[in-house]
Structure 1
Amino acid sequence: MALSPHEAGRELSRLRQMPYGTARTAASEALTDRIEAEGPRDYLPAALLDLVENYVFTDQDDRGFVGFARLLRLWDEDASLFDDVDTANLFWEYKWVAGSLASYPAISIEQAEAFLAEMERRFVVSGKPTSCVAKSRFGWLSDIGSSLADDARQAWQRAGFDEYDDCAACRTGQQVGFLVQEGRYAEAVEVGAGREGTCNREPHSTLVHLALAHTELGQPELAAEALSAARASIGGNHTMSAGSLGLWFEGLCRINRLTEALALLRGDYADFLPGRATPLDQVRMLTHLVAGLAAHADADDAPTGLTQLGELNVRQVREWAHAQAAELAAQFDQRNGNSFFSRQLDRALTATRLDVPAVAPEAPVVAADVVATPASDSPLESAAVDIEDAPETADAYQQAALADEAAGQLVDAGVNYAEAAHLLADTQLSLAHDTFALAVPRLVAGGAEPALIAAVLGDWAPVAADVLDTAGVEHHVVSLIEHLDQRIAAEQSPSDDLAVAELARFQALRWELIDVLARTIASTPPSQRRPGRSAAEAIDLAMKAGEGFAGIGQPYNAAHAFWLAGRLQREAGDVEAAIWALESAYEGFRVAGLPAVAAEAAGDLIEVLRATGQDERATEVARSL
């Protein structure tokens, strides 16, 4: 049965609330196909516009071309279907598609120029201002390394700005990026100083470019400040391309923060490595990867922990990235009729690094032999400290910890070390790891409550994984689980309501620790795991945690545990088990009232279903969103 206009509008509105990703795109495709086949036809322009947006913001620019062509055909056939909002969005999205012209070497110069000419014709015929056409021409020439790019930039500036141009923040970011690309670093800093406003890409893009500019100008402290500000600017609606990630990676490496840079790659953006990006973003990312690792040639034998590439060392990853980038650079240079990308790659091989003076704590860097989760969920006071104030505040906590320890207040010392470590985790991973290693033994020796120790272990675990040293975390997690097992066994026949509540808290805490252990094992590269540890054990622990959380009425935690298990099972090739776990995660997040997170889990489920030829089931999941 066809949707009513009210139903179609409601479904489109719901989709717009979802995070960009596989699930939102799949749901958008299903809804667009349904409206095109069954109506209401007046809502087809809005559905297609949303579909193009989803493709563009998930690095599927090639599919965006197809969706936009459908929009233009519909406009030419019956422009009356487009209301004022649809019309404005059609011309707004034109520049998104134009911005993708350089992304594929198969698109010829002639085809791109014809697209831009047709874009200008349509704007003029429709009586629209043409500043964004000038901007799109500048973007195209900049992306292909043309010597005419700066003239086009100035022509864009002279054209003024109108309602179809980008926001002020993006206009600044585009110019700063171009100036850095051209090696005009002082100019980039000058233009970047006038930045204003925010959006889903800014000011992050401007700031990471400024970090590189400051590095090239020999200003390591300013480079570090720019990167810290860039990290602080990332909000819930932020989107990062592979090229932007590569720039951030290089920026970290160039100010001697290789550990943080590699942790970034091993984290949420690991899928970019095998090529889940446009060819243009891919060659940019790989070139930045080469530059960052070239700056650390003295660490060639160091492990990277990048399991996606077979656990190669620094030299091997740099050589792999260079070979991949060289192949893509040759394709782009052939299309562009120049040697722009090859020259960029050659320059990357000569990159050097600067040292940034670090906060020098007086605390020892190795934990004494004492007998005995996400920042927003942390019970620590430092979770509320602004990232710009983190180094100074961390030093104050370390000084307080030293005073507490001297006074024999081990729990207080442990808490203050944990506060310091929490703050250092954003900028100095290795020091944060060592400081956590000071905190936990003191908490244990001082007889801290298990819940406090568990919270600190939850904060320490991802840091330990990032520095490829999880033995200490695992030891303390296992010890605390054993301690809780003893407490639970002693409380199996609680005598009053207070004892019943205490038993419930211990049981919940035990599942939390099992979940932490599963994540720690899973995030540690196989070669770095302790003897006997394996992905299979991580899967088993995650499944047990999910079932345990479900059994005590915690659907949110259960969903997260099942989500971890499903991803690991998918990597292990156990497709049916992965589907069950991912379905459980999806349903758990829905029960917990978290549609945005549910959509992310659904995206993983849809990918597994499609990869195994279960397209109908995948479509059912998409429609259920």
Structure 2
Amino acid sequence: MSRTVDDANREIVRVRDMPYGAARTQAAEQQVRLVEAEGPDGARAFALLVLVESLVWNGEVERAYLPFTKVVRWYDERPEHFDASDVHGMFWSFKWMVGHLSDFPNVPAAQIEATLEDMERRYAVAGLGRDAVARERFSWARSRGTADVDALYDEWVRTPRDEYSQCEACDPGDRASYLIGRGDVDAGIRLIEQTLDAGVTCATEPADMLATLALAHLEAGRAEDAVSAHRRAVAALAQSESDMAGARGERFELLARGGQPVRALRALAADSHLLVAADTPADRFAFLRHVVAGTAALQVSHADEPVAFAGVPATDVATLHAWALAQADELARAFDARNGTDRFALLLAAARATRPADVVLDLDVIPAGFVAQPAAASHGSAGTPLPDGPVTQGAGPSHAGSGPAGAGAAEPHEPPAARAERLAREGDLVGAARAWLAAAAVAESEGRLGDAGLATAEAARCAQELGDDDGAAAVYPRAVARMRAGGVPPQDVVPVVVAWSPVAVTTGTADAALAAVDGLLHELADDPSTTPGAPAPDPSAAAAGAALTERVASIRRRACADLDDTAARVLASLGPEHADVAAARATRAAEAYAAGGAVADAAHAFWLAGRLHDSQGRVDDAVWNLESAVEGFGVVRQRGPRGEAASALVAVLRAAGRDERAEELLRLLSR
């Protein structure tokens, strides 16, 4: 029996609600095949548009052009099968085609021009606003570096916004980027700051504009402003969608030029996949261009610094620079040949000439080499082991770059812990970290080691959130040691070890974190027992005691699962030689989570185990764990993770030749 329009639309909506990835794209393709073969015609436009969107945002713009042309042709032939949403989606997709096709140098300029002309004609015939057309004409000229780009920019800025305009965050972000790029730095910075003050956000903003802002401040010699923007950019990047190649490249360049070679290379290691592949060739060129600039600056003093990135034949900064330059040059030649200009060559030449900035960025939240000194208590407060102001020469006020001006001012007789909590609420994490260290010193001087450990852990967490991995990794072990020495129950130490583990991996100190994990697991494995010879309680007291014992046991079992999950993730990050052990611990964590009713946590652990088994070629184990993950995410209605786990499962099934099972799974995801 054929589906009704409502039935088909419901299934297509479920596909559209999936996260971008292989599962969504293949499910969208399946829906198009079904509607083209069986109908109903009223759902065809919707199915095609969802496929276009899926391909565009999964980095497959070239493949999106065919379903895009199909939906336009269908509109010309059968407009009665388009509702208002379909019509809006079709006109909106013109922006994707014009904007993204230029990101592929093998797409002829004539095709892009023809699509842009068709877009302008159709918008005019439909009586739509012209802002989207003006923006795409400017963007195409900017990509090529043609002589009319300034005039087209001015025309775009003058054109009134309408329902097809970019979002209110991307629009000023693009304008500011252009202004800064052409030398109007102050105007670009003002526009970014106005947009940040307005608080508008989207999938890519404010991460893009903050990364641009940080680099602009560095080039102007404003180190504190660059640090502030950089910290905000790092936080925003963690929440952004798409590969964010430009912003991530700017982050590397900023750190490399700002006197932070270790942090720069760590950031590049985290983003190293972008060296060999990005969403589009233009995105990859953007990333490589910043890598060329950053390594050009690093070569001045760190040419011999060793590097190792998968798929990149480079052993030190000098050979990485040469490789990135060659890769970027190949792309630049392809783009310039298509565009008939030399814009990409000029961009690369400027990157190649980059040198270190005139200022050095101070990114330490926890001062390098910090060792807390007990401070004498006085009237509920204490002398602090750190000053309220600069920690190192020229570091600036403690609130710089992290919160409102003046947030670091201490209240009269305000205890360090209270001050730390206040500063954290006000957004001054630098000041909060230092106040927590002061609170830890007070607690330690008074013999309250458990409280000292907790305060130290809070300081480490502040540093971690601001990207000071070295500082966090230096004090997390101290926090754990103080908590253990102070008699804090092991299950209450577990969250601190879980938080410590990612920075331990980043800083190359994973062994210490794993030792802490296994030490806590050993202690938690021994259930607490009642005191021998104690008098038997009355029945009601016995019942209450049994309930309390079970609650404690449940908490301890959960803590063990968290530790196994943490160990699995740490081991997985250390290389394929640890994959077997990591997979076993992930599965053990998943089963413990499931037994305790923590379905979402179980699903995440099964997902990790599935990926690890897949990396080792164990198809059946990978399928079982990934199916468990998909099922678990479905139970708790977490559509995003469910779709991502399903994408991994579909890939495993396809690679193993189990196409029938993959098709069945895709149908289930849309029901």
TM-score by length of 1: 0.89
1:486 aligned onto 2:532: no
User: What is the aligned partner in structure 1 of residue 627 from structure 2?
Assistant: 583
User: What is the aligned partner in structure 2 of residue 281 from structure 1?
Assistant: 283
- Of 276, 285, 290, which aligns to 2:292? 290
Structure 1's 582 and 306: CA in aligned 2 closer, same or farther, altered over 3 A?
farther
1:449 aligned onto 2:489: yes
The offset of 1:362, in angstroms, is 6.8
1:404 aligned onto 2:443: yes
The offset of 1:166, in angstroms, is 1.4
Q: Contact conserved, 1:253 with 1:293, CA < 8 A, in 2?
A: yes
Q: Contact conserved, 2:367 with 2:471, CA < 8 A, in 1?
A: no
What residue identity is the alignment partner of 1:437? P
Q: Contact conserved, 1:382 with 1:419, CA < 8 A, in 2?
A: no
What residue identity is the alignment partner of 2:228? E
The offset of 1:145, in angstroms, is 2.8
User: What is the aligned partner in structure 2 of residue 373 from structure 1?
Assistant: none
Alignment of 1:496-575 (within 5 A): 496-525=546-575, 534-575=578-619
1:116 aligned onto 2:116: yes
User: What is the aligned partner in structure 2 of residue 355 from structure 1?
Assistant: 360
Q: Which has the larger radius of gyration?
A: 2
User: What is the aligned partner in structure 1 of residue 225 from structure 2?
Assistant: 222
Q: Contact conserved, 1:103 with 1:280, CA < 8 A, in 2?
A: yes
Query: In the aligned structure 2, how far is the partner of 1:325 from the partner of 1:234?
Result: 24
The offset of 1:416, in angstroms, is 0.7
Query: In the aligned structure 2, how far is the partner of 1:279 from the partner of 1:240?
Result: 12
What residue identity is the alignment partner of 1:467? T
1:165-214 Cα offsets, whole Å, 9 max, x none, are 21332221111222333344333223323324332222222222122222
TM-score by length of 2: 0.83
1:609 aligned onto 2:609: no
1:296 counterpart SS class: helix
Query: In the aligned structure 1, how far is the partner of 2:231 from the partner of 2:322?
Result: 29
What residue identity is the alignment partner of 1:175? R
The offset of 1:577, in angstroms, is 2.5
Deviates more, 1:308-317 or 1:282-291: 308-317
1:476 aligned onto 2:516: yes
Q: Contact conserved, 1:185 with 1:214, CA < 8 A, in 2?
A: no
1:20 counterpart SS class: coil
Structure 1's 465 and 387: CA in aligned 2 closer, same or farther, altered over 3 A?
farther
User: What is the aligned partner in structure 1 of residue 274 from structure 2?
Assistant: 272
1:416-450 Cα offsets, whole Å, 9 max, x none, are 11101111113311111112122111111111111
1:440 aligned onto 2:490: no
2:276 counterpart SS class: coil
What residue identity is the alignment partner of 1:613? G
Structure 1's 161 and 591: CA in aligned 2 closer, same or farther, altered over 3 A?
closer
The offset of 1:89, in angstroms, is 2.1
Query: In the aligned structure 1, how far is the partner of 2:421 from the partner of 2:43?
Result: 49
1:587-617 Cα offsets, whole Å, 9 max, x none, are 1222233222211111111222233333332
Q: Contact conserved, 2:252 with 2:290, CA < 8 A, in 1?
A: yes
Q: Contact conserved, 1:229 with 1:388, CA < 8 A, in 2?
A: no
User: What is the aligned partner in structure 1 of residue 189 from structure 2?
Assistant: 189
Structure 1's 68 and 351: CA in aligned 2 closer, same or farther, altered over 3 A?
farther
Query: In the aligned structure 1, how far is the partner of 2:645 from the partner of 2:273?
Result: 16
User: What is the aligned partner in structure 2 of residue 377 from structure 1?
Assistant: none
User: What is the aligned partner in structure 2 of residue 105 from structure 1?
Assistant: 105
2:129 counterpart SS class: coil
1:213-238 Cα offsets, whole Å, 9 max, x none, are 22222222222222233344468674
What residue identity is the alignment partner of 1:24? R
1:151 aligned onto 2:151: yes
User: What is the aligned partner in structure 2 of residue 371 from structure 1?
Assistant: none
The offset of 1:105, in angstroms, is 0.9
Structure 1's 316 and 485: CA in aligned 2 closer, same or farther, altered over 3 A?
farther
1:22 aligned onto 2:15: no
Structure 1's 70 and 569: CA in aligned 2 closer, same or farther, altered over 3 A?
same
Query: In the aligned structure 2, how far is the partner of 1:188 from the partner of 1:481?
Result: 53
User: What is the aligned partner in structure 2 of residue 378 from structure 1?
Assistant: none
Q: Contact conserved, 1:555 with 1:592, CA < 8 A, in 2?
A: yes
Over the residues paired in the alignment, what is the CA RMSD in angstroms? 2.9
What residue identity is the alignment partner of 2:566? V
Q: Contact conserved, 1:465 with 1:523, CA < 8 A, in 2?
A: yes
Structure 1's 39 and 274: CA in aligned 2 closer, same or farther, altered over 3 A?
same
User: What is the aligned partner in structure 2 of residue 76 from structure 1?
Assistant: 76
Q: Contact conserved, 1:468 with 1:524, CA < 8 A, in 2?
A: no
1:431 aligned onto 2:481: no
Structure 1's 263 and 589: CA in aligned 2 closer, same or farther, altered over 3 A?
farther
What residue identity is the alignment partner of 2:493? I
What residue identity is the alignment partner of 2:450? V
Query: In the aligned structure 2, how far is the partner of 1:248 from the partner of 1:621?
Result: 39
Deviates more, 1:100-109 or 1:7-16: 7-16
1:109-136 Cα offsets, whole Å, 9 max, x none, are 2222222122222222333232211211
User: What is the aligned partner in structure 1 of residue 458 from structure 2?
Assistant: 419
1:46 aligned onto 2:46: yes
Query: In the aligned structure 1, how far is the partner of 2:40 from the partner of 2:167?
Result: 33
Unaligned segments of structure 2, at least 5 residues:
374-419, 532-541
Query: In the aligned structure 1, how far is the partner of 2:71 from the partner of 2:217?
Result: 43
Deviates more, 1:185-194 or 1:561-570: 185-194
1:335 aligned onto 2:385: no
Query: In the aligned structure 2, how far is the partner of 1:54 from the partner of 1:22?
Result: 9
Q: Contact conserved, 1:55 with 1:63, CA < 8 A, in 2?
A: yes
Query: In the aligned structure 2, how far is the partner of 1:306 from the partner of 1:451?
Result: 37
The offset of 1:281, in angstroms, is 0.8
What residue identity is the alignment partner of 1:434? A
Structure 1's 611 and 276: CA in aligned 2 closer, same or farther, altered over 3 A?
farther
Query: In the aligned structure 2, how far is the partner of 1:74 from the partner of 1:170?
Result: 31
Query: In the aligned structure 1, how far is the partner of 2:133 from the partner of 2:648?
Result: 37
What residue identity is the alignment partner of 1:166? Q
- Of 631, 642, 663, which aligns to 1:619? 663
What residue identity is the alignment partner of 1:111? Q
1:557-587 Cα offsets, whole Å, 9 max, x none, are 2222221122222223333322222122111
1:467-526 Cα offsets, whole Å, 9 max, x none, are 2221211111111111122337999xx993433333333233222211111111111357
Q: Contact conserved, 1:329 with 1:341, CA < 8 A, in 2?
A: yes
Q: Contact conserved, 1:259 with 1:430, CA < 8 A, in 2?
A: no
Query: In the aligned structure 1, how far is the partner of 2:422 from the partner of 2:635?
Result: 28
Query: In the aligned structure 1, how far is the partner of 2:316 from the partner of 2:583?
Result: 27
**Matched-pair identity in %:** 36
Query: In the aligned structure 1, how far is the partner of 2:240 from the partner of 2:345?
Result: 34
User: What is the aligned partner in structure 1 of residue 392 from structure 2?
Assistant: none
Q: Contact conserved, 1:201 with 1:238, CA < 8 A, in 2?
A: yes
Q: Contact conserved, 1:286 with 1:321, CA < 8 A, in 2?
A: yes
The offset of 1:385, in angstroms, is 4.2
1:37-66 Cα offsets, whole Å, 9 max, x none, are 222211221222222122222221112212
Structure 1's 418 and 261: CA in aligned 2 closer, same or farther, altered over 3 A?
same
Q: Contact conserved, 1:362 with 1:399, CA < 8 A, in 2?
A: no
Unaligned segments of structure 1, at least 5 residues:
369-380, 527-532
Query: In the aligned structure 2, how far is the partner of 1:589 from the partner of 1:175?
Result: 40
User: What is the aligned partner in structure 2 of residue 393 from structure 1?
Assistant: 432
Structure 1's 226 and 364: CA in aligned 2 closer, same or farther, altered over 3 A?
closer
Q: Contact conserved, 1:246 with 1:288, CA < 8 A, in 2?
A: yes
Query: In the aligned structure 2, how far is the partner of 1:36 from the partner of 1:136?
Result: 32
Structure 1's 299 and 584: CA in aligned 2 closer, same or farther, altered over 3 A?
farther
Query: In the aligned structure 2, how far is the partner of 1:476 from the partner of 1:585?
Result: 28
The offset of 1:322, in angstroms, is 2.5
Query: In the aligned structure 2, how far is the partner of 1:424 from the partner of 1:518?
Result: 24
Structure 1's 237 and 334: CA in aligned 2 closer, same or farther, altered over 3 A?
closer
